Structure 1
Amino acid sequence: MIKKTEQHKNPGVHRREFLKKSTLAGSALIIAPLTIANEGIYSTQPTKYELDVFIFSKHLQFLNYQDMCEAAAEMGFDGLDLTVRPKGHVLPERVSEDLPRAVEAMRAMSFSPTLMTTNITNADKTVNIEVLKAASTNGFTHYRTGWLDYPENRSIPESIEVYAEQFRKLESVNKELSLIGCYQNHSGNHVGAPIWDLPHLLSKTNNTHLGCQYDIRHAVVEGGRSWELGLRNIASHIKTIAIKDFKWGIVNGKRKPINTPLGKGMVDFKRYFSLLRKYGVQVPVSLHFEYGLGGAEHGNSEITIEPKKVFEQMKNDLSFLRNTWKEVQ
């Protein structure tokens, strides 16, 4: 078993840091948090730009902060989508102590704090406010929210009105803290799973500090061949995107979606990327690895295969993502 090592501070500046700084300094193609699509205007010409790709830190939870950041830099990522939630890299109740330490390790690799993933769905709990304040203080710009469900004891339109008020309050806090909250379309009986409910819900906010984290894997699971219509409908609300792939298979006698490496499943990435360009969706990207990686896919603190093999597969997916994106430019 590979065990999670103790957290420790980075002793100094590495040559890799200098090289990465030089690379970043020479690039003017940084992904803007607010885009043409976010303003509800589609591009008349396909937009050409590079992707800023952040690794979802759930899949590196077998590493401490320094080792996690060094691994992400060596693999070629632009930063981390840091888990700040129960069983994450940073626990919500320890956010004031541990988030600065995680950020210190990120900055040592010239990573700017940008994305984090939380379980926050409202502005009513003290711990939620503390997490958001810490995120703002430490320089983060975007966070993924938790998920919402449709209870059986009220209609779906009634639930949308309830959640709209909840989101308006959360957006108000986000605005004060200069943060953008992103609700993920997750397959299953969740709010946002069918996509078509999300624009109606999000339209009740100002669409500036609260929007959607669009997940193409979950969109294809639920939308089948109509996922393009869902993307067209939600495009003006997209603030971040999550990348992963899947195929249909039989598990315990039942047909279910099975997660795969990129390009091995059902997602038509060339078509998807061409539509992102068409709609001017220019936002940070969180890359996920939900298929078998010795427990890393589940966010385990101990994994059963060598980290080297995990990193190799992660690099393969990152290369596929970047190469496919270039092909549609």
Structure 2
Amino acid sequence: MKKDKKGISRRNFTQLSAAALGSIPLMGFDKSLLNTRPNPNDDIKVNLFSKHLQFLDYNEMSEAAADMGFDGLDLTVRPKGHVLPERAAEDLPKVISTMKKFGLLPTMMTTNITEANDPQSRQVLETASALGLTHYRTGWLTYPEEKTIQQTIEVHAQKLAALEVLNKKLGLYGGYQNHAGNHVGAPIWDIPQILKNTSSLHMGCQYDIRHAVVEGGSSWQLGLRLVHSYISSIDIKDFKWGQKDGKWQPINVPLGEGMVDFDSYFKLLKKYKINVPVSLHLEYDLGGAEHGGSKITIDKKEVFAQMKKDLTFLKNAWQQAE
């Protein structure tokens, strides 16, 4: 039987089911006691963002991800996702069970959660914790025009601090993604301010190198230096600048074909001793799969081939970065 590094049976732990949710708040069981960060030179664990397999059911999705060589799935547990938040207690156990059948690890999910006191959000997190998931991405935060940037930062800092309290109780690691555009987290410098009331362990950052390079150009290394201690997970994609409809804009491309310097990036991650769960995103043309379409316009074998190609590039680039 496979055991965790501290000798706890992983099978016994992940056999918790939604039926046990009522006891979760009383358990105070902190999975951080069971987790230590892998050696930065170890292989990375790559999860496929399930948004790109939205055209498949749980069984087909899990089988495809396993066949391609992924370690797990970054499950969409949000509106229009593989699991709807209001049905998390019923459907999340089903998809986790299916994933395990194909040898996939239940590690990551992407949510729309921003409030610790929202009943539906609490149920999603309690369900995820009971099923052995450990990392999740929060929902988006905004900068409303009627408040100053600093006023909004203070409000968001309180929200994420409250989420960290809940995360710690449930043994979860939340991450807010930096996203290019007029979004909270886009300039990078605001992330430490928003996370200033947290320990950065149970509520941190899901770092996105694609968006960091879009916003930071050649200074993205400084942004990474600023936030590296907050990184709890990362997502991976690539882009290049180009013209579309007469306007210059970022155009998404397969890994290695764009402007992201993966060798420099991975060398810095290893320097900072960061080896955290990875979510692979494919935002370029995949017949609608890139947008989470429930139907696609190309053969699914073409989609799978490109996913495997990006996965191979990613793992090779990580191994070669020294």
Same fold (TM over 0.5): yes
Matching residue of 1:10: none
Q: Residues 1-329 of structure 1: matches in 2 within 5 Å?
A: 35=37, 47-329=40-322
For the structure 1 residues 243 and 174, does the alpha-carbon distance in structure 2 shift closer, same or farther, using more than 3 Å as the test? same
CA deviation vs aligned residue, 1:182-234 (integer Å, no higher than 9, x gap): 10001111110000110122122121210000000000000001000000110
Aligned 8 A contact 1:34 1:239 in 2: no
Distance 1:227 1:261 in 2: 20
Please list every run of at least 4 consecutive aligned residues from structure 1 whose deviation after the TM superposition is greater than 3 angstroms: 32-36
For the structure 1 residues 208 and 47, does the alpha-carbon distance in structure 2 shift closer, same or farther, using more than 3 Å as the test? closer
1:34 is displaced (CA, Å) by 5.2
Aligned 8 A contact 2:179 2:185 in 1: yes
Aligned 8 A contact 2:195 2:204 in 1: yes
Aligned 8 A contact 1:33 1:284 in 2: no
SS at match of 1:302: coil
For the structure 1 residues 34 and 167, does the alpha-carbon distance in structure 2 shift closer, same or farther, using more than 3 Å as the test? farther
SS at match of 1:208: coil
Matching residue of 1:25: none
> Unaligned 5+ residue runs, structure 2?
1-33
Distance 1:122 1:315 in 2: 36
Distance 1:231 1:237 in 2: 10
Distance 1:316 1:95 in 2: 32
Aligned 8 A contact 1:82 1:116 in 2: yes
Amino acid at match of 1:247: K
Amino acid at match of 2:84: L
Aligned 8 A contact 2:283 2:291 in 1: yes
SS at match of 1:240: strand
1:110 is displaced (CA, Å) by 1.6
Aligned 8 A contact 2:207 2:234 in 1: yes
Distance 1:294 1:128 in 2: 32
Distance 2:129 2:145 in 1: 36
Distance 1:34 1:104 in 2: 25
Distance 2:299 2:198 in 1: 46
Distance 1:51 1:178 in 2: 21
Distance 2:134 2:316 in 1: 27
CA deviation vs aligned residue, 1:38-62 (integer Å, no higher than 9, x gap): xxxxxxxx94111100000000011
CA deviation vs aligned residue, 1:83-119 (integer Å, no higher than 9, x gap): 0000000001111111011011011012221100001
Greater mean deviation of Cα atoms: 234-243 or 115-124: 115-124
Select the structure with the greater relative contact order (CA < 8 A; seq sep ≥ 6). Answer: 1
> Unaligned 5+ residue runs, structure 1?
1-31, 37-45
Give the TM-score, by structure 2 length.
Answer: 0.88
